[in-house]
Structure 1
Amino acid sequence: MSFFSTRGESCVTASQAILHGLAPDGGLYVPAMFPSVPMNRISSFCEMDYAARAVSILKRYLEDFNIPEIEEAVRAAYNTERFDTPEIAPVKQIDDATWVLELFHGPTLAFKDMALQLLPHLTRLAAVKNGEKREISILVATSGDTGKAALEGFRDVPGTSCTVFYPQEGVSDVQKLQMVTTGGNNTHVIAVKGNFDDAQTGVKELFSSPEFVKQMEERGKILSSANSINFGRLVPQIVYYFSAYADLVNKHAITPGDPVNFCVPTGNFGDILAGYYARNMGLPVNKLICASNRNNVLTDFFNSGTYSTHRTFFKTLSPSMDILVSSNLERLLYEAADRDGALIKRWMEQLKESGSYSIGEQRRDWMADVFWGDCADNKDTLKEIGKRFLEDHYLMDPHTAVGGHVLRQYRLKTNDATPTVLLSTASPYKFAADVLRGIAGADAAEGKDAFACSEELEKLTGVPMPAQVKALKDLPVRHTAECERDAMGEAVLKAFEL
Structure 2
Amino acid sequence: MDYVSSRDKKLRVSAAQAIAAGIAPGGGLFCPTEFPALTADEMQVLLGKDYKGRAAHILGKFLTDFTAEELSDFAAKAYADEKFGGADTAPVKSLSDGVHMLELWHGPTCAFKDMALQMLPHLLTASLRKTGETRTCCILVATSGDTGKAALEGFANVRGTKIMVYYPVDGVSPMQKLQMVTQQGDNVEVVAIQGNFDDAQSAVKRIFTDDATAKRMADAGCIFSSANSINWGRLAPQIVYYVSAYCDLVNAGALKMGDKMNVCVPTGNFGNILAAYIAKQMGLPVGKLVCASNQNNVLTDFFRQGGVYDRNRPFYTTDSPSMDILISSNLERLLFYVSGQNDALVAKMMAELNETGRYEVPAELRARIAEDFDAGCCDDAETADTIRRTFEREGYLLDTHTAVAVKVYEDYRARTGDMTPVVIASTASPFKFCGPVAAALGKTVDTASVSQLSELSALTGVAAPAPLAALADKTPRFDRVVDKADILSTLDLLL
Question: Is residue 480 of structure 1 aligned with residue 479 of structure 2?
Answer: yes
> For residue 415 of structure 2, what is the aligned residue in structure 1?
413
Residue number among 331, 336, 339 corresponding to 2:338 in the alignment = 336
> For residue 428 of structure 1, what is the aligned residue in structure 2?
430
Name the CA shift for 1:113/1:446 in 2 (closer, same or farther; >3 Å): closer
Partners of 1:226 and 1:433 lie apart in 2 by 28
Q: SS of the counterpart of 1:81?
A: helix
Alignment of 1:346-365 (within 5 A): 346-365=348-367
Question: Is residue 460 of structure 1 aligned with residue 462 of structure 2?
Answer: no
Report the CA distance between 1:167 and its aligned residue.
0.3
Alignment of 1:45-444 (within 5 A): 45-303=46-304, 304-439=306-441, 441=442, 444=443
Q: Say which is worse superposed, 336-345 or 134-143, in terms of deviation.
A: 336-345
> Contact 1:432 / 1:450 at 8 angstroms: preserved in 2?
no
> Contact 2:294 / 2:378 at 8 angstroms: preserved in 1?
yes
Partners of 1:432 and 1:450 lie apart in 2 by 11
Partners of 1:478 and 1:417 lie apart in 2 by 49
Q: Say which is worse superposed, 203-212 or 450-459, in terms of deviation.
A: 450-459
Q: Say which is worse superposed, 6-15 or 229-238, in terms of deviation.
A: 6-15
> Contact 1:351 / 1:357 at 8 angstroms: preserved in 2?
yes
Letter in 2 for 1:332: L
Partners of 1:343 and 1:322 lie apart in 2 by 27
> For residue 4 of structure 1, what is the aligned residue in structure 2?
4
Name the CA shift for 1:477/1:419 in 2 (closer, same or farther; >3 Å): same
> Contact 2:446 / 2:452 at 8 angstroms: preserved in 1?
no
Give deviations 1:221-270, integer Å, cap 9, x for gaps.
Answer: 11000000000001000000000000000110010000000110010000
Name the CA shift for 1:339/1:176 in 2 (closer, same or farther; >3 Å): same
Q: SS of the counterpart of 1:10?
A: strand
Partners of 1:147 and 1:81 lie apart in 2 by 21
Partners of 1:341 and 1:140 lie apart in 2 by 26
Q: SS of the counterpart of 2:225?
A: strand
Report the CA distance between 1:337 and its aligned residue.
1.6
Report the CA distance between 1:42 and its aligned residue.
1.2
Report the CA distance between 1:362 and its aligned residue.
2.2
> Contact 2:90 / 2:103 at 8 angstroms: preserved in 1?
yes
Report the CA distance between 1:451 and its aligned residue.
2.6
Report the CA distance between 1:45 and its aligned residue.
1.4
Partners of 1:70 and 1:460 lie apart in 2 by 42
Report the CA distance between 1:360 and its aligned residue.
2.5
Percent identity between the two aligned chains: 49
> Contact 1:433 / 1:454 at 8 angstroms: preserved in 2?
no
Q: SS of the counterpart of 1:407?
A: helix
Q: SS of the counterpart of 1:338?
A: coil
Partners of 1:198 and 1:56 lie apart in 2 by 37
Report the CA distance between 1:450 and its aligned residue.
4.7
Partners of 2:26 and 2:214 lie apart in 1 by 14
Alignment root-mean-square deviation, CA: 1.0
> Contact 1:10 / 1:25 at 8 angstroms: preserved in 2?
no
Report the CA distance between 1:447 and its aligned residue.
5.5
Partners of 2:270 and 2:179 lie apart in 1 by 24
How many equivalent pairs are there? 493
Partners of 2:447 and 2:276 lie apart in 1 by 38
Q: SS of the counterpart of 1:82?
A: helix
Partners of 1:112 and 1:199 lie apart in 2 by 18
- Which runs of 5 or more structure 1 residues have no equivalent in the other structure? none
Report the CA distance between 1:409 and its aligned residue.
0.2
Partners of 1:301 and 1:450 lie apart in 2 by 39
> For residue 490 of structure 1, what is the aligned residue in structure 2?
489
Partners of 1:490 and 1:449 lie apart in 2 by 31
Task: Name the TM-score, length of structure 1 as normaliser.
Answer: 0.98
Report the CA distance between 1:96 and its aligned residue.
2.7
Q: SS of the counterpart of 1:234?
A: helix
Partners of 2:218 and 2:479 lie apart in 1 by 26
Report the CA distance between 1:446 and its aligned residue.
6.0
Partners of 2:128 and 2:454 lie apart in 1 by 44
Q: Say which is worse superposed, 404-413 or 356-365, in terms of deviation.
A: 356-365
Q: SS of the counterpart of 1:140?
A: strand
Partners of 2:449 and 2:362 lie apart in 1 by 46
Q: Say which is worse superposed, 464-473 or 170-179, in terms of deviation.
A: 464-473
Partners of 1:122 and 1:154 lie apart in 2 by 11
Report the CA distance between 1:336 and its aligned residue.
1.9
Give deviations 1:255-301, integer Å, cap 9, x for gaps.
Answer: 00000001100100000000000000000000101000000000000
Partners of 1:103 and 1:412 lie apart in 2 by 26
Give deviations 1:458-484, integer Å, cap 9, x for gaps.
Answer: 112111011112111221111111211
Partners of 2:445 and 2:477 lie apart in 1 by 28
Name the CA shift for 1:331/1:89 in 2 (closer, same or farther; >3 Å): same
